[in-house]
Structure 1
Amino acid sequence: MLLRHKIVLDTAQDGFWVTDAQGKLIEANEAYARISGYPVDELLTMHISQLEAQEAGEEVRAHIEKVIAQGHDLFETRHRHKDGHLIDIEISTTHQPELQQFFVFCRDITGRKRVQLEMQRSQDLLNEAQHLGQLGSWELDVASGELRWSDEIYRIFELDPVTFAPSYENFLSVIHPDDRDKVNQAYTQSLEDKQPYDVVHRLLTGSGHVKWVREHCTSDFDEAGKPLRSVGAVQDITEQKCAEDQLRIAAATFETHEAIMITDPDGNILRVNRAFEETTGYNAEEVLGKNPRILGSGRQDKEFYAEMWRRLKEDGSWTGEMWDRRKGGQVYPKWLTITAVRNEQGATTEFVAIFSDITARKQAEEEIRNLAFYDALTQLPNRRLLLDRLRLALPASARSLSYGALLFLDMDRFKVLNDTLGHDYGDLLLIEVAVRIKHCVREVDTVARLGGDEFVILIEDLGKDAAESSQRVALIAEKIRVALTEPYRLRDSVHRSSPSIGVSLYRGNAEPVEVLLKQADMAMYQAKEAGRNAVRFFDPAMQLAVETRAMLEADLRNAIANRELRLHYQVQVDKEFRPLGVEALVRWQHPTRGMVSPGQFIPIAEESSLILDIGAWVLETAGAQLASWRNYRVTRELSIAVNVSAAQFHQQDFVEQIAALLRRHGVEPLRLKLELTESVVMADVADVVAKMHALKALGVKLSMDDFGTGYSSLAYLKKLPLDQLKIDQSFVRDIAIDSNDAVMVRTIIDLAQNFDLDVVAEGVETDAQRLFLKQHGCDAYQGYLFSKPVPVEEFERSLGGL
């Protein structure tokens, strides 16, 4: 039996040896001798550690202990051939404890390992190729439903092969919900048609990312046409889809409304879009291969382009405004951005220029600038631009010590033109005025329109001598005045006008801009007061008068509240010197100025709203006085005449104010006489007549003051419900020596008698005047001959006391 075993072992293809408990070979066959290259007799002198190439001596001993413990072992290791090369060996060993020996079978698996290595290398190469190509493969056993995926599919699908079990249903779950039906239908249809399918669809990964893949599949069928196996490939085309999207966006962007031009590094045009053709007038064929210099306008110099190229090289881009020329020759502004396209090495491969025609924007900016700094009607500088230039002119004058001047100009009676012919004609006049003024001055001078019919001319560098500068600007102002007095042809009408011009000289910046304008304005008003159509220079005394007037107005605003106003009364008598009544005349007792003349403060009040407050106070005070006099016999029959201003009378509720006054004080209406001037009556005859009738209905008496000084006509006089005419003192003053005044007074008296009106003469200062008036039928008088205006206490004493 042992002999038969030995024969088997000696003829076996696998090596065999026996070792003792320490690992020393005590038996070996010829097969292992062939495998190891050692003769059998030499092997019997060796320890297994001398053959072992993979485990060290300590590891061999440890392994022997392991086999003793287990009783057997099967493992792979490496032995070293006698010539030194390594041999892959599969060891199967059994421990024989009763013999204290190990039986060891050794199989040379070098060839097998080589094949396995080649197969693994091929698989690795396939996996690497799939990874590089982002292409995974799969195989489906249709009958069993078993699905096998390559590693790359797991990576594409972002799935863990350890936790995810491939199946067709699981595969569909990874597909984007919107694409599942499409993919399933493609596969099902391919089985029905027995044709491959190719489909592009999306994946929805566990992380929420969307991927794009292209899937191709083919199937094998049996003779009956039943599907057996499907194999396919899945390629990740996400980057490709993104690139396609970018190309699509780029293509759409390239055809944007902005012009695009692409050049090579040398500036030769490679491509342009449609907006380029529309903007420049050149079609693509005309510019491809050309240099962008064909678009140049010549407005930019060499330094401009040198700086542009410097920025392009340093920063990779340049943005700015420049001017180009269209094919037709038109020069236009454009907003340009040039960007350098560089490769991975940093070398410029192309330049991309994007630009747009900004003609409309420039026009809009110019229009906005004109609206901000120029008058829309005359195209002259407006107030803002004038002030800017004036603020520059004053420091310049200070440096050069040269005089300059401001001319403030206003067209006389411009409102009449607007009111009669309309604002269209007024605008035509202003446009022509602007043209004429500009023709009278230098190009460097500023002609501005402040608004309405007000113009200001700024003239610089008149000279360093004050007298010469004054003379020079006087000649310019006179030239302007003469030019503006020439007739104006306004459509089908000829209009005549004239200017009032105020002049203010300056040197240096000692006076603020606003002060200089105010001085010129004041001088202009002096020209108007001088009769219009005149030139006046600013006088410091004028400034003092204005400042005094302003202070007076400020004080007047507090006069009523501070109880500074007084009423003085001037008696009116009949031909027998019996008192008929009084005229109430307002006086102002200023705490520091003393008694202020009505001639000083009444004009100020009339030019502001103060006249309404003062008029109301006078009426209220007069009403209270009538109520008081009603209690005394000597004053019970007296009337009080109160002057009513135009502003006061034209208040909408003036009649209601008078009615309330009468009720409040309980006085007889006929004791209150309201004196109206001709200017009040003639302003709006229909409205005035209606109010006068309403006042008459209350029982109030109405007198026309200063009759004969205005422009009343008999027709108007007939319509007015008057009770009395009052002869102005300017006619009374010289009736004894001036035949014209005498005729005027007799005419007024006759007129009053014919209209059945009372008549009273004011300003009677001599007995000769009184006798003349009495002789011609005037039986009521007022003046210093009888009494000056006096406080109420003094007037009451003159009556003998109350």
Structure 2
Amino acid sequence: MLNEINSFSGEKIIMMVIFGAIVFFSLAGAIVYHLRKFKRRREEWERAEKMFQGVFNQVTDSIVVVDKEGIIYKANETFLKYQGKPADKIIGKNIQRIPMDYVFEDELDELKKAIAEKGVYERDIKFFHKSGEVIPIHLVFKPLKISSNKGQEKSYMVVTGTDLKKTYEKDEYISQQKEELLEIQHLAHLGYWEMNYLTKKIYWSRELYSILGYEEGEVEPNLDIIYWMAYEDDQNRVWKAFLRAFQAQEKVDTHYRIKNNRGEIRDIYLRIRHYFTKDNEHLRTIGILQDVTKQVDLREELNAQLIFTDKVLNNSRLLFIEFNSSFEVRNINHVVQQLSGIAYDDVENKNLRDIFGNLNRAHRKFVNENLNFKRPLPFKDYKGDVHYIQWDHATFSKRDGENTNILLGIDVSETIEKRKALEAAFIQDPVTKLPNRYKLEQVLDNYFNKNGNNSERYLALIFIHVEGIHAVGDAFGQDIEDRLMRSLSERLYGAIGKYGLFVRRYTDQFVLFYPCDASIKIIMEICQLVAELLKSPFIIEGSAITLRNHIGISKYPDHANTKEDLIRFGSAAMHEAQRLNLDYYFYHESLGKKLKSKVNGYELNNN
């Protein structure tokens, strides 16, 4: 029996060991299974949490998650920026600590009721920013259940806050953009219509109403109005365009005229386009109408101007040259072609100087660098004749951005010749053909402008009075007097003209403009030569006529420093020689005082 007991005890122990091992491994397996399950759930929760937080922070509105007690559980970055605080200063705190005019606990019952009935609760509040600004906020409350990392669900409330100030600004911006778009359409005279195949409706833009001659909303939009407004001559083409657009569903671009509701004839450019879904279902058709009346009128006016310009340039005496910024000629008209001898086909890429001919260096530089034509330029034609052309220059920009230069000129050679003849007559004595007193004043002006302050330059004016000229005229007549004057001027000019400008100043008076030196020796020789010349008689009509001279001399800078004083002193010296019956007389200061003393009242007024 003892053996049986021992045997039973051993078997029992073995069974118990085996049972214990089974239980141990079962428990170990269960623990491992639950650990793996917990780890996998935690990883899924962390991924979900990470994804939720990423989406959470991408929302531009403020978002905060609170529990039923109003304790903040989560908050996105936008919310934190508005608060101006980090997350650790916000999370775990009561929502009522946010500076606003909303009391969470007071409206909790109303919130729960709205959530139960509608699933959402909305309210406008005022948020008091730390800067002192009061910001209107629209709050939206929605319920949310979040599973913890232990798999337990907990109820929360998601509160979304929309900054109404930014919303107002966005709405204002959109409205402004819409108005600007309408203004652009108006400025471009661009209207459009849209046919929506889903809603079966047709829409007209505001500008389309205007183009068609209606007030906005005055008529119900339809395509028949657009078609029947087509000008009678263009209706067939418009009809074919509409058929291609709506039957063959083709793109259409056409130009035609309409007579709108106000009776105005307008040029219209029409473009029709179709839009389809991914399944090739016809979604909508859009038509764009642009009023191009002004562009058409401008183009016609431009064409008329081009025709007019062509007729003017090719049927007038104007010279026309077109060239680029490199002075390469692009075009000329028939007048330039005739003068230059260059054919139209050979003008391309020729330099402007080739057209102008062989200019001197000054003129060549002027053409190449200046093009500011204040004076006529010489233009040598292919025969070698020189024409004087008055040019006008302008630069224009073409559509390709290249600048083109235009020269318009008129041949003023005849005018210049007439002007030269007139100028010559103005400064020339008609009887003797000698320069007159106006020429003398021009020369004196130029001299004093250049040498007025130069004390090393000397000038003498020799005034020659010829006595007896008027007596010949009185005795024999004007014709004999003129013949005598011509003979006299030839004799004097032949003898003393080499010294300087010899001028007939008045009827019986000549002046020699003589740039001299400091010595008076040559001046005295000239005076003596004149006296000797006049001793020989002049034979007129068989009669010997003898004349007498009286000469007055004034010098620069010895006697005068101005043109006026030099003339006055020379004339005074001549009259003094005449009074004293001398051949010649040099001016001196005492003569000036003497002459002034003879003027009545001079001494009285100058005491």
- TM normalised by structure 1 equals 0.38
- TM normalised by structure 2 equals 0.48
Question: RCO (CA 8 Å, sep 6+): is it higher in 1 or 2?
Answer: 2
Which structure has the larger Rg?
A: 1
